[in-house]
Amino acid sequence: MTSKIDDRVPVLIVGGSLVGLSASLFLGRLGIEHVLVERHAQTSHHPRGRGNNVRTMELFRTAGVEPLIREAASVLAENHGILQADTLTGSEQEWLFKQIDPGGALAKFSPSGWCLCSQNDLEPVLLRSARDLGGDLRFGTELISAEEDAEGVTAVVRSRETGEDRTIRADYLVAADGPRSPVRERLGIGMTGAGDLFHNVSITFKAKRLADAVGDRRFIVCYLTNPESPGALLPVDNDQNWVFHAPWRPDDGETLEDFTDQRCEALIRTAVGVPDLEVEVTGKAPWHAAERVAERYGTGRIFLAGDSAHEMSPTGAFGSNTGIQDAHNLAWKLAAVLRGWAGPGLLETYDAERRPVALATGARASTRSAEHRHPGYDVSPGAGRKPGMLAVVLGYRYLDGAVVGAPQDQPAVPEEFRPLAQPGGRAPHMWLSQEGRRLSTLDLYERTPVLLSGPAGGAWHEAGLSIAGRTGIPLACYRVGPDENHDLVPEEGADWAQMHGAENDGAVLVRPDGFIAWRSRTADANAERTLADVLEKVLGGVPGNG
């Protein structure tokens, strides 16, 4: 190994797809210098990974990019449902659901909403935003080696254009390098789970008259069940550009070469039920649906995120969303440790929190593929009650990790979603006024821990201010009450204490990622000592709290 160090940086990110770019964005928002390397020369050009759930959009909201993403996604803004049909022209038509958010009920729970933005449209937004924040993102650059020691990671990266090697010294490495992660393999970390589920070939194509057959059915995806050519049809622009997912059976000896343009054209015509449809195939890409989770999410100073840590069936887009949320969970912890207001033990909670969520979410993704009878997945839906989408998307929780008082008798993903504050769960959304400005509680959570105290919780508020001044922890303290004498004023009809499971003299500690770290329902005669102990447990040590 060379002793010459070309670049020194706190964090090295390996992989520049959705998860790596999100990690760069989140670290940039927190002011953490980093380098990202991606072996491909540019972002994805294939329209895939389009479903961004409400929790992911909340994270992009606080990161300041939600409007840019919605602008990039505007062409599919009116596409909502999932249709199942024998063919587009046949008699068997069934909406599995017609609206993502029927009646707009989701607005009670979140300031954001679902967004259908394909990976090829989303990645450039993340790339530009991350670079605007000062991120050093190097495409066309691959990782050659990475060696960890007690003080950091030394990595050699190579330009695929020039062949030049550079040595990067980083405090930490985040591997977002995909399902066949070279970093994970070098670490010797195995995968558990059901393994491969099914295989598809994603075919992009142009068809000028297909929009006539679709009509006014603005679906996210249409599962076409004609046994002669089952598949999934996805709109790219609701006009001429489309994607067709055709089942592929490599276990039966079928090869990618078998999917000639002529065969793909015939499969599409048969599936949609328009025999004379003019089809122009513009691209083909294989993909594999699997259910796997890494045995651990890293070792020492190296962490796995996204597909390198877990693979999930594509139905519901759980995999990409879970990966982006991995990056968000890890980013604030890296920032806290690097800034010196948390101990290294905080980073150990990444595995403890995210791995159980991936296990539960991956199982739900596989079940949903069976429920939807995804083409190529020859498994009948399982019996028994399964958690609803909102429970998976907004209800997942951390039972062990950087939390105090999380219930230990509950699953990582509940059966039903209840928007109440609970240690280990997502902090609830409610609208507030701050100095005349309307904002969501979720807008408070990004860069620092936040202590919210009720209208009679002055002792908690003073304790928080004292600890922040004494320790240097950037603890933001807000008093929530009914008038301008408080820092935050809930909108009329909103009850902060009830929503947060506390009394008016209680308090809630919220982490920078918007999860409840701890709650006290009522006052405490030893508020400062209690809060200091909580912060020490949550942060893995508190500076100046000896």
The reply to whether 134 and 244 lie within a common domain is: yes
The reply to whether 181 and 41 lie within a common domain is: yes
The reply to whether 330 and 439 lie within a common domain is: no
Residue 380 lies in a domain: no
Average pLDDT, the chain: 92
Residue 370 lies in a domain: no
From the list 484, 465, 483, 482, the residue with the least C-alpha distance to 474 is 465
User: Average pLDDT of 93-99?
Assistant: 87
Q: Is residue 381 over pLDDT 70? A: no
- Contact between 224 and 246 under an 8 Å Cβ cutoff? The reply is no
The reply to whether 264 and 143 lie within a common domain is: yes
In 3-state terms the chain splits into helix, strand, coil percentages (rounded to 5) of: 30, 25, 40
Domain boundary pick from 322, 346, 370: 346
Domain boundary pick from 316, 346, 376: 346
Residue 88 lies in a domain: yes
The larger pLDDT score, comparing residue 545 to residue 249, is at 249
The reply to whether 317 and 450 lie within a common domain is: no
Residue 376 lies in a domain: no
Query: Any idea what DSSP says for residue 314?
Result: S
The reply to whether 175 and 324 lie within a common domain is: yes
Residue 304 lies in a domain: yes
The reply to whether 340 and 439 lie within a common domain is: no
Q: Number of structural domains, the chain?
A: 2
Q: State pTM to two decimals.
A: 0.94
The reply to whether 437 and 319 lie within a common domain is: no
Residue 423 lies in a domain: no
CATH code of the domain containing 454: 3.40.30.120
Which H or E run includes 382?
none
Residue 545 lies in a domain: no
The reply to whether 436 and 333 lie within a common domain is: no
The reply to whether 103 and 229 lie within a common domain is: yes
543: confidence class by pLDDT, cuts 50, 70, 90: low
pLDDT of residue 383: 46
Domain boundary pick from 315, 346, 377: 346
Whole domain around residue 236: which residue ranges? 1-346
CATH code of the domain containing 93: 3.50.50.60
The reply to whether 305 and 445 lie within a common domain is: no
User: Average pLDDT of 47-60?
Assistant: 90
Residue 323 lies in a domain: yes
The reply to whether 199 and 106 lie within a common domain is: yes
Calculate the alpha carbon distances from 190 to 195, 299, 490 in Å. Answer: 12, 12, 48
Tracing tokens 């199982």 back to the chain, one arrives at 363
pLDDT of residue 386: 64
pLDDT of residue 546: 47
- Contact between 406 and 399 under an 8 Å Cβ cutoff? The reply is yes
| Angstrom distance (rounded) from CA 42 to CA 288 | 22
From the list 256, 501, 203, the residue with the least C-alpha distance to 375 is 203
